[in-house]
Copies of this chain bind each other. A is one copy, B any other.
Amino acid sequence: MNDKTAPDESAAQVTGGETSPPTLKTIAFMTGLGVTTVSRALKDAPEIGAATRQRVQLVARQIGYRPNRAGVRLRTGKTNVISLVLNTEEQIGGFVSDLIYGISEALAPTPYHLVVTPYSRTNDPLEPVRYVIETASADGVIISHIEPDDPRVRYMTEHGMPFATHGRTHMGIEHPFHDFDNRAYAREAVQKLAALGRKRLALLAPPSNLSYYTHMRDGFADALMEHGLSEVPFPTATVDHSIEDIRKLAAELLLRPNRPDGFVSGAGAGTFALVAGVEDAGFKLGQDVDIVSKQTSKLLHLLRPQLYVVNEDVRLAGAELARAVLGRIAGRDLASLQSLSQPSAVEAYEG
């Protein structure tokens, strides 16, 4: 009956010898069915009888069948790959580690693999995204360092590539994202400093081209107004500057006549530099100056217990981003794929 499938080396699967991984053909041979039937049965197609379906699935499970990724990919174009696009000149810190852990844990129970696609600042940030799309090497993409009008978002939208962004855009394109509410963070931070009696605050802001620069700035400005505080401009420094730069700039700022008595810091590593700068200038933390900082790892209170911290859970962000791209690929409703994580309350050291 099975003139075609029977007499080839699939029989070897059963009779022993070299064990190459089972394929549909193996199962077809074992069950006496056609390859097509097996394929359909494994995907719960309705036109396959319930008994057959169960039988095939049982055999498949028993022999540890796993669809061949290359076969599926060649036939259907589905790669089962999510590409994480990373800037390899990322600032210091465990940020990226946690993001990757979060993503890969979320992908673990799915058939998706995580591929890291790097680019360096010298390259066009669009380059890796173009590569993924041109070579169709992933079903979905995750990007970070989002700008309000982000060319990558435009490009992927135009080319129908599902993606999720770690940060929000403001360009009239709706898309999946996850973001930390930096506006709320800045407000909380200012409120804390106000409660401590601080009057003249400076902001160690993100790079001004990124979306969350605006969010953080807005929250900062709003809260200043609300509490009747004034801002000491700290314009040239951003969390992306080198440690040495931030340190020097902070020290200089504190030696000016109208020195700040409080800082809001947008990133943990920047805070290390900020503290050093404050102390270089001869001021004492918790006495002359207070600092509220975000952190992604829990080291700041070991640096100086006088710091006030808000924790940002990047691992969670990774998991949310993974869920968001997968949801997009599955065609789920956009609203459920956009999430904003609220800052925890400002924490003082409790030793």
Contact = CB atoms under 8 A, between A and B. Distances in A.
A302 B118 contact: no
A95 B98 CA distance: 11
Interface in A77-105: 79, 86, 88, 90, 92-97, 100-101, 104-105
Contacts of A88: 101, 104-105
A252 B202 CA distance: 40
A3 to B, nearest CB: 25
A69 interface: yes
A137 interface: yes
Contacts of A101: 86, 88, 90, 118
Contacts of A118: 101, 104-105, 108
The dominant DSSP class at the A interface is mixed
Contact of A243 (B95, B104, B298): B298
A68 B70 CA distance: 10
A298 B273 CA distance: 11
A227 interface: no
Nearest to A247: B302
A330 to B, nearest CB: 22
A51 interface: no
B115 A114 contact: yes
Given A92-B297, A114-B116, 13 more contacts: A69-B73, A86-B101, A92-B94, A93-B97, A94-B94, A94-B95, A94-B96, A104-B117, A104-B118, A243-B299, A272-B302, A273-B302, A303-B303
Most B C-beta atoms less than 10 A away, residue of A105, A116, A135, A137: A116
A104 B86 contact: yes
Contacts of A275: 302
Interface string A263-306: 00000010011011000100000000000000001110011000
A66 interface: yes
B96 A100 contact: yes
Interface of A: 21, 64, 66, 68-71, 73-74, 79, 86, 88, 90, 92-97, 100-101, 104-105, 108, 113-118, 120, 134-137, 243, 269, 272-273, 275-276, 280, 297-299, 302-303, 351
A95 B101 CA distance: 13
A51 B97 CA distance: 50
Contacts of A280: 351
Q: Can you list the 10 inter-chain pairs with the closest CB atoms, starting with the nearest?
A: A70-B73, A96-B97, A70-B74, A104-B118, A272-B302, A88-B101, A114-B116, A92-B297, A97-B97, A276-B302
Contacts of A93: 94, 97, 297
Contact of A299 (B73, B92, B351): B92
Contacts of A108: 118
A116 B98 CA distance: 13
A107 to B, nearest CB: 8
B302 A302 contact: no
B66 A135 contact: yes
Nearest to A269: B299
